[in-house]
A and B are shown apart, each in its own frame.
Chain A
Amino acid sequence: MAIETAEPATPALGSFAVATAAARRRERILYIVAAIVLAVLIVIPLSSLDAVQAAGLPLVMDRYWFRVTTLIAMFVIIAGAWNIIGGLTGYPAFGNVVFFGIGAYTAGTLITRASLPYATAVVGAVVVCAAVACVIGLPLLRLRGHYFAVASLGVAVATGEVINNVQFFGGASGIFMPIIRSDLLFYYLMLGGAVLTVGTTWLVLHSRFGFGLIAIREDEVAAGVIGVNTTRYKVAAYMLSAALTGLAGAIYAQWNVFIDQSTAFNLDVSIDSILMVLIGGIGTIFGPVIGAAALEFLIQTFAGSGELAVWTQIGLGVLLTAAVIFLPRGIVDFFGGRSSFTREYVRRTLRETGV
C-alpha cells in the first residue's frame, strides 16, 4: 500500500487524490490562516472611525484600500458563486454576470421606484435572481459543455440589451440611487457576503447535495442511475450560484450609486471571476478566495491608464496562461490540497495539461 490513510468521518469529496495525514494537517492550517485573516479584516477598518482616529491610533486603511478590499470581497462572492455551478457541478456558465446585473437592477429599481429600504431591496434582488435562474436554468441546463457556456453567455448579453432599452429600468441613462456615504458599510456588506459564500461552499461540499453535484460533474449519466435527480440538483446549484451573484450585484449597485448596462452587465466580470476560480483552484472551498484576492490585487495595482494598461493586460494574459499550464489545480492545491511544489509536481502537471 502506497498511501496510509485514516479517513475522517465525513470527508469532503472532490479532492483530486487521497487525503494523506500531511495533507489534512495542511488543510487544518489553511482553515486557521483563513480565520486569522478574517479577524484582521474585520478589525482593521475600524481604524478609520473618528473615535479611533481621535485616540491617536494610525489609519491602517485609507479610501483607496477600502475600495480595493471591497472589490476583492465582491469578487470572492462572484467567483465563489461561479465555483458552485462551474466548479462543483461542471457547468461552465460563461454568462453568470447576468445575475450580477439582475441583482443590481432589481435593487436599484426597488429603491428608486418602490422606495423600499436598502436591506429589503437586497433581499428582493437575491430572490429575483434565484427565481430567474430557476426559469432559465430548466431549458439551459439541458445543454452541456460548450453549448451551455455559449447559451448562458447569450442570455447575459441579451438581458443586458433588453434592460438597456426599457425606460422603466432607466434605459440607456441607467439608474441613480440616493447616496449612502459609508465606506465601512459596503466593506462589511461585501465581506459578509464573501464569508457567506465560502460558508455555503463548505456546507455544500459536506452535504448530500454536494456529493450529487460532484457526481453530476464527473458523469451525469452515472449520477442519474445511482439515484441523483440530476435536473433538480443542477437547477438548485444554478439558483444558489445566481442568488449569491445577485447579492454581490445588489450591494455593488448601492455602493456605486449609479448602474447602467456597461457597469452591471460587464462581461469582464464573468471572465475575471472564472479566471479567479481557475487560478485559485476549481471546485475547492478556498480556491476562489485566493484567486480573487490575487487577480483583483494585480488588476487594481497595475491597471493604470494609457500605455501602462496595455502592458498590464498583456502581462496578465501571460500570467494566466502560465497559471493554467503549470497549476491546473490552482494555487490552493499547495496549501489545503494534496501537493507540494516540487520538480516532480511540475513534471506531472505538464504531462496532464499536455504541454
Chain B
Amino acid sequence: MRSVTKRFGGVLALSDVSFDVPEGQVLGVIGPNGAGKTTLLNCISGVNRLDGGEVHFAGQRISGRRPYEVARLGIGRTFQIVKPFASMTVRENAAVGAVFGSAQARMATAAAFRYADEVLDLVGLAPKRSLPVGSLTVPDRKRLEVARALCTKPRLLLLDEVMSGLNAVEVDEALEMVRRVHSSGVTIMLIEHVMRVIVGVCAQAVVLHLGRVLVAGQPAEVLRDRRVVEAYLGERYASRHAVGGSG
C-alpha cells in the first residue's frame, strides 16, 4: 500500500498512508475515532475509490478495481456495522460467500453448503446454522460476518472491529476464533479499538491518526509510544504520566 489518499469533499480522510501487510501475519490497525481505519478498508476492498496512491496485492495493482474483482483475487472483509443477508439463514449467508468469493471458492451450491458447515464450525456458529439471522445476538452476527468472508476462501482477511460491542468473555472467544482462522493459513489485517486484541494476536501494529500513519511496529512498543497515548488520551495525560517511549 503506497501513499494512499482519500478525500470526502473537503475532508482528507486518508493522507499518504503507506505500509505492508506481510503474508502469513496478523497485522493490527488501531487509531481513535475518525482516524480513517474503516475508510482504509473500503479503499482496499474497492468499496471506495482512491484519490491518490496505489494498493497492491500479491503482485497485482488492486486500487481502482471493483469490489467483486478484489474479492475474486482473494481478499475477504467484514463490516463494522454488520451486513447480513437478512432473509437467509445463518447457513445460507455463509454458503453465498462460497458460491461466489475468490477464484478458489466459487463452488456449486451443494459443495458451498458443505463448506459453509465447516466454516461455521470454525467460528463456533454450527449449532445455530439453521436460524434466521434476525434471531442472532450481536457477537454471533459478528461471527457470521467472519464466516461469510472466510467462505470466500480469502488469502487476506480484513476484519473491521469484529470485537467492538463485545464483553470481556466474548472478546476472549473472538480472539480464540481469530487465532484459529490465522492458523488455518489466512493472512489477517484487523482494525480494532480494543487494545487487548492488538497485543493478544497481532505481530505488527499500525496506528492511524487523522488519516496518517502515526507509528508502526511491535504492538507492545507501539502502545507505549508517547504519540499514540497523546492521540488517544490527549497531550496533558501523556505528559503527566510520562509514559516513556520514543516520543
Interface residues of A (CB under 8 A from B): 1-3, 5, 7, 9-11, 13-18, 206, 208, 211-212, 214-215, 217-219, 221-222, 224-231, 283
Contact = CB atoms under 8 A, between A and B. Distances in A.
27 contacts: A1-B127, A1-B130, A3-B131, A9-B110, A11-B113, A13-B88, A14-B88, A15-B87, A17-B132, A208-B100, A211-B96, A211-B100, A211-B109, A218-B87, A219-B83, A222-B83, A224-B66, A224-B67, A224-B71, A225-B46, A226-B100, A226-B149, A227-B68, A227-B71, A227-B100, A230-B68, A283-B87
B211 interface: no
A73 to B, nearest CB: 29
Contacts of B105: 227
A9 B45 CA distance: 32
Nearest to B130: A5
A212 B100 contact: yes
A231 to B, nearest CB: 8
A10 B101 contact: no
Contacts of B72: 227
B57 to A, nearest CB: 14
A81 to B, nearest CB: 21
Given A227-B101, A227-B105, 5 more contacts: A1-B130, A9-B109, A208-B100, A218-B86, A224-B67
Nearest to A1: B127
B152 A14 contact: no
A13 B45 CA distance: 26
Tell me which of A2, A10, A222 has the highest count of chain B C-beta atoms within 10 A of its own C-beta. Answer: A222
Interface residues of B, number: 40
A225 B47 contact: yes
The 4 A-B pairs at the shortest CB distance, nearest first, are namely: A224-B67, A227-B71, A218-B85, A227-B100
B70 to A, nearest CB: 7
Interface string B89-111: 10110001101111001100110
Nearest to B75: A225
A3 B85 contact: no
A15 B130 CA distance: 12
Contact of A208 (B70, B109, B127): B109
A220 to B, nearest CB: 9
A105 B206 CA distance: 63
A229 B69 CA distance: 8
B68 A219 contact: no
Given A5-B130, A16-B87, A18-B130, A225 B96 contact: no
B226 interface: no
A219 B85 contact: yes
Nearest to A283: B87
Q: Is the interface of A mostly helix, strand, loop or mixed?
A: loop
B214 to A, nearest CB: 27
A212 B130 CA distance: 20
B87 A3 contact: no
B146 to A, nearest CB: 12
Contacts of A230: 67-68
A354 to B, nearest CB: 16
Given A221-B67, A225-B77, A227-B72, A7 B113 contact: yes
Contacts of B88: 13-14, 214, 218
A228 B100 contact: yes
Contact of A13 (B68, B92, B110): B92
A222 B85 CA distance: 8
Interface string B37-65: 00000000111000000000000000000
Contacts of A15: 87
Contacts of B99: 208, 211-212
Tell me which of B66, B100, B127 has the highest count of chain A C-beta atoms within 10 A of its own C-beta. Answer: B100
B71 A222 contact: no
Nearest to B105: A227
A221 B83 contact: yes
B148 interface: yes
A277 to B, nearest CB: 16
Contacts of B77: 225
Contact of B148 (A212, A221, A226): A226
Contacts of B101: 226-227
Nearest to A14: B87
B87 A214 contact: yes
Interface string B19-45: 000000000000000000000000001
A226 B71 contact: yes
B76 interface: yes
Interface string B158-190: 000000000000000000000000000000000
A225 B87 contact: no
A224 B130 contact: no
A9 B95 CA distance: 12
B149 A18 contact: no
B47 A224 contact: yes
Contacts of A3: 130-131
A90 B182 CA distance: 36
Contacts of A212: 99-100
Given A211-B96, A212-B100, A215-B85, A7 B91 contact: yes
Contacts of A219: 83-85
A1 B131 CA distance: 9
A244 B96 CA distance: 27
Given A211-B109, A221-B47, A225-B77, A18 B68 contact: no
